[in-house]
Amino acid sequence: MTFTGKVAVVTGAASGIGRATALALGRRGARVALFDLNPEGMAETAAQLQQAGAQSQSYGLDITNQEQVNQTVAQVVERWGSLHIMVNAAGINQAGPTSYGPGIEVSEADWDRMMDVNLMGTVHCALAAAQYMRPLRRGRIVNVASVAGAVPRMNMASYCVAKAAVRMFTKCLALELAAFSITVNAVAPGPTQTPMLGSAAGDADPQALERMIAGNPDIYRLGVPLGKLGQPEDVASAIQYLASDEAHHVTGVILNVDGMAQLT
């Protein structure tokens, strides 16, 4: 599998799944535009890409701002002449003081922030990419959803709803762009060892991750039958496939990368 000659944008590239995906694509020949609000994290990702002999460019932007997204995607195309792959890995699992708790107690501001980042950020970036892909009748858009968008979680209503919306947006956009030979898919990670996981599991509780794997009747009801947490590289491998030429006949798919957490 090679991405030589391809231009890719990866959002959330400063850490976690976004970083792992940027590194995977860059090491296989893609020129990678890094989108994130964390300059220090992007600098580390860029340094690792440079060590691997890959080309990258960092862009600090707020994906919830549609105008910023459109302008920045235009800058990528102006710099490298095209856009072949858009990976929407940016996301949050906590938007404010009430967002991780009973749905009845989540504030409107925290609902709005969760939807703005996880759903509308994905929408803005995917549609901005599609504007350049449609005339060329080619392109790959891969969104990062979650098993939490299909299986409810206690005290995570706003996150679950936002990720469920990402799943349906993926399918709707895939249908709309099929006539242009553009594929749109999503990966749905289960519990994955990223910085974001700590806040969901409870950073101060050393047994929280073990309970997440085993299954916690109060919160993580299903557990992970495969018996281990996923790694960002596991998700990045699935994203690579969906972004590749080999996946030209795969679209509208939600690919679980979850150790069977969703299906138990």
- Give the pLDDT confidence of 158-215 residue by residue, as tens digits: 999 999 999 999 999 999 999 999 999 999 998 766 666 555 555 556 666 666 655 6
Strand runs (DSSP E) across the chain, as ranges? Answer: 7-11, 31-36, 56-60, 85-88, 139-144, 182-189, 254-257
Q: Which helix (H) or strand (E) segment is 91 a member of?
A: none
Q: Is 107 exposed, middle or buried (0-12, 13-18, 19+ CB in 10 A)?
A: middle
Distance CA 257, CA 190 (A): 6
Mean pLDDT of 45-73: 98
Q: What are phi and psi of 140, to 5 degrees?
A: -130, 125
Mean pLDDT value of segment 31-59? 98
208: Cα separation from own chain's centroid? 24
210 C-beta neighbours (distance < 10 Å), count: 12
Query: For residues 219 and 159, is the Cβ–Cβ distance under 8 A?
Result: no
Catalytic residue among 59, 100, 132, 159: 159
Is 159 noted as a catalytic residue in this protein? yes
34 pLDDT higher than 60: yes
Which has the minimum average pLDDT: 22-26, 39-43, 186-190, 230-234?
230-234
Report the alpha-carbon distance of residue 44 to residue 227 in Å, rounded.
31
**pTM for the whole thing?**
0.88
Select 7-193+230-257's CATH number: 3.40.50.720, 3.40.50.11060, 2.60.40.10, 3.30.460.10: 3.40.50.720
Instruction: Name the amino acid, one letter, at 184.
Output: V
Residue 88 above 60 pLDDT? yes
When pLDDT is cut at 50, 70 and 90, the band that residue 151 belongs to is confident
Beta bridge partners of 8: 32, 85
For 91, the token pair is: 């996301």
- At 59, the pLDDT band (50, 70, 90 cuts) reads very high
